C-alpha cells in the first residue's frame, strides 16, 4: 500500500516548532497564502474563458500596463492578509508604497510583514504560459503596537523568516522555505488540497541549462557575454541548452529540478537590472540557498545587499552553485560593471 501523501496543513503543523518565536502566526500566515493561491489559481486557470484578459489600461509604479489578473491577484492577497489579522503591513509590486494594516484591523499588534509580486510574468497570461506569485516574509523591526514603518520592509534578505512561490503551470505548486530546506506542494484542484509532492528540493550543484533573454545580448556587460560564449563553446559537457520562458518562477523551478542558471543582467534598457530586490530576488535567493544553490548580482550575495528603496532593481544570477560561480568568475574580470 503506497504511503498516503502528506498535506500542506499536516506539514505546517508538524514543522510548527521550527518557526523561531512564532506562536502559530507564521503557520496562519502560510495558511492564508495557501488559500489566496487557490483563489488566484482558479482565476488564472479560467482566464481564457472570461473577460479578465487583456490590459486593464491601468499602469502600476513600474510603468507596466497591468493585466487585469495582476490586479485580481493583488486584491486577493491584500484582502486575505488583512482579514486574517496576521501581518502589520504588505508591500506589493502592484502598490506604489507599502500598505499599513490599520489598528482597527488589528495591524499594529502584528509581528510580520509580507512583500509580494502577486502575479509575476503576467505578460504571459494571454499566451497561456505559466505565471507565478512570489512572497517574502520578515518579522517587523519597529515596536509591536505601532504602525509598520519602511524599516520593516527594507531589511536584508538574510533576515527573511519565510519565502516561496506559487507556480500556476501544468499543475499548480506552492514551493516555500522557513529556513529548514525547500518543500514543494502540488494542488489537487478537485479537492482544493495541497500535497507534499517534492520534499526537500535541491539544486543539482552543476547543470547544463542557462536562462537569459539573449535578445538583449548587445547591451550585456562583457562578463555576461564571456560567460555565454563559455556556455556555447564545444568543450566537455558544453554547449549547454538555452531555455528561457520569460517567467522567472517557471525558469527558476525548472532549473531547480534539472540544474541550471537564470541570469537577468543589466543592459542599456535596464541599467540597474530589471528584477526587484525585495519581492523577487530576495525570496528566490533564500529558496536557492536553502536548496544548495547560489544567488548574486554577479559580484555580491543577494541576501546581504542593504535595500535602499521598496522597488529597487538589481541584476540577478541564480541557480546551480557551480554555474553561478563560473558566471561570477567572468564578471570578476570587469569590476567596473558592478552596479553598486
Q: Which residues bind ligand P6P (CB under 6 A)?
A: 120-121, 123, 213, 246-248, 274-275
Residue 8 vs 91, nearer CB to ligand P6P: 91
Smallest distance, ligand P6P to C-beta of residue 313, A: 10
- The least distance separating ligand P6P from the CB of residue 219, rounded to whole angstroms, comes to 11
- For ligand P6P, give the closer residue by CB, 181 or 246: 246
Please give the C-alpha separations between residue 229 and each of 31, 198, 263, 323, in angstroms, as whole numbers.
Answer: 45, 34, 14, 14
Contacts of 245 (CB under 8 A, 6+ apart): 121, 124, 129, 130, 211, 251, 254
By beta-carbon proximity to ligand P6P, the closer residue of 100 and 270 is 270
At 240, list the grid cell. Answer: 549547454
For the bound state, the minimum distance from the C-beta of residue 218 to ligand P6P, rounded and expressed in Å, comes to 14
Q: Which is nearer to ligand P6P, 246 or 307 (CB)?
A: 246
Q: Angle between the 25-45 and 68-83 helix axes, to the nearest 10 degrees?
A: 150
To the nearest whole angstrom, how small is the minimum distance from the Cβ of residue 118 to ligand P6P?
Answer: 12
* Cβ neighbours of 167 (radius 10 Å): 27
> How far apart, in whole angstroms, are the C-alpha atoms of residue 300 and residue 219?
21
CB nearer to ligand P6P: pick between 179 and 246: 246
Question: Cβ of residue 178: shortest distance to ligand P6P, in angstroms?
Answer: 24
Shortest gap between Cβ of 276 and ligand P6P (angstroms)? Answer: 8
CB of 245 to ligand P6P, least distance (A): 7
CB of 227 within 8 A of CB of 326?
Answer: yes
Return the number of the residue (33 or 249) whose C-beta is nearest ligand P6P.
249
Q: Residue 216 CB: number of other CB atoms within 10 A? A: 17
Secondary structure letter of residue 124 according to DSSP? G
Beta carbon nearer to ligand P6P, 89 or 315 = 315
- The neighbour count for residue 275, using CB atoms within 10 Å, is 22
Residues 294, 301: Cα–Cα separation, whole Å = 8
Amino acid at each position: 500500500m503506497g504511503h498516503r501523501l502528506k498535506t500542506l496543513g499536516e506539514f505546517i503543523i508538524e514543522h510548527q516548532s521550527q518557526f523561531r518565536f512564532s506562536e502559530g502566526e507564521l503557520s496562519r500566515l502560510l495558511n492564508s497564502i495557501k488559500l489566496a493561491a487557490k483563489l488566484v489559481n482558479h482565476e488564472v486557470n479560467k482566464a481564457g474563458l472570461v473577460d479578465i484578459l487583456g490590459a486593464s489600461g491601468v499602469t502600476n509604479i513600474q510603468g507596466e500596463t497591468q493585466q487585469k489578473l495582476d490586479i485580481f491577484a493583488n486584491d486577493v492577497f491584500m484582502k486575505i492578509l488583512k482579514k486574517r489579522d496576521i501581518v502589520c503591513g504588505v508591500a506589493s509590486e502592484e502598490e506604489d508604497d507599502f500598505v499599513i494594516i490599520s489598528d482597527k484591523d488589528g495591524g499594529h499588534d502584528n509581528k510580520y510583514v509580507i512583500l509580494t509580486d502577486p502575479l509575476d510574468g503576467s505578460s504571459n497570461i494571454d499566451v497561456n504560459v505559466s505565471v507565478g506569485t512570489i512572497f517574502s516574509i520578515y518579522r517587523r523591526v519597529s515596536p509591536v503596537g505601532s504602525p509598520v514603518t519602511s524599516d520593516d520592509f527594507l531589511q536584508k534578505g538574510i533576515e527573511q523568516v519565510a519565502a516561496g512561490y506559487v507556480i500556476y503551470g501544468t499543475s499548480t505548486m506552492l514551493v516555500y522555505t522557513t529556513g529548514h530546506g525547500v518543500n514543494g506542494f502540488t494542488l489537487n484542484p478537485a479537492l482544493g488540497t495541497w500535497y507534499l509532492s517534492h520534499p526537500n528540493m535541491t539544486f543539482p550543484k552543476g547543470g547544463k541549462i542557462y536562462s537569459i533573454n539573449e535578445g538583449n545580448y548587445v547591451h550585456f556587460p562583457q562578463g555576461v557575454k564571456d560567460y555565454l560564449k563559455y556556455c556555447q563553446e564545444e568543450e566537455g559537457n558544453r554547449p549547454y541548452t538555452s531555455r528561457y520562458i520569460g517567467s522567472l518562477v517557471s525558469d527558476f523551478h525548472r532549473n531547480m529540478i534539472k540544474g541550471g542558471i537564470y541570469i537577468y543582467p543589466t543592459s542599456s534598457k535596464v541599467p540597474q537590472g530589471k528584477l526587484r530586490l525585495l519581492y523577487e530576488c530576495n525570496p528566490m535567493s533564500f529558496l536557492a540557498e536553502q536548496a544548495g544553490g547560489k544567488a548574486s548580482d554577479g559580484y555580491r550575495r543577494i541576501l546581504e545587499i542593504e535595500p535602499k528603496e521598496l522597488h529597487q532593481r538589481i541584476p540577478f544570477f541564480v541557480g546551480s552553485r557551480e554555474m553561478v560561480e563560473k558566471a561570477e568568475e567572468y564578471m570578476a574580470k570587469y569590476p567596473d560593471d558592478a552596479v553598486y
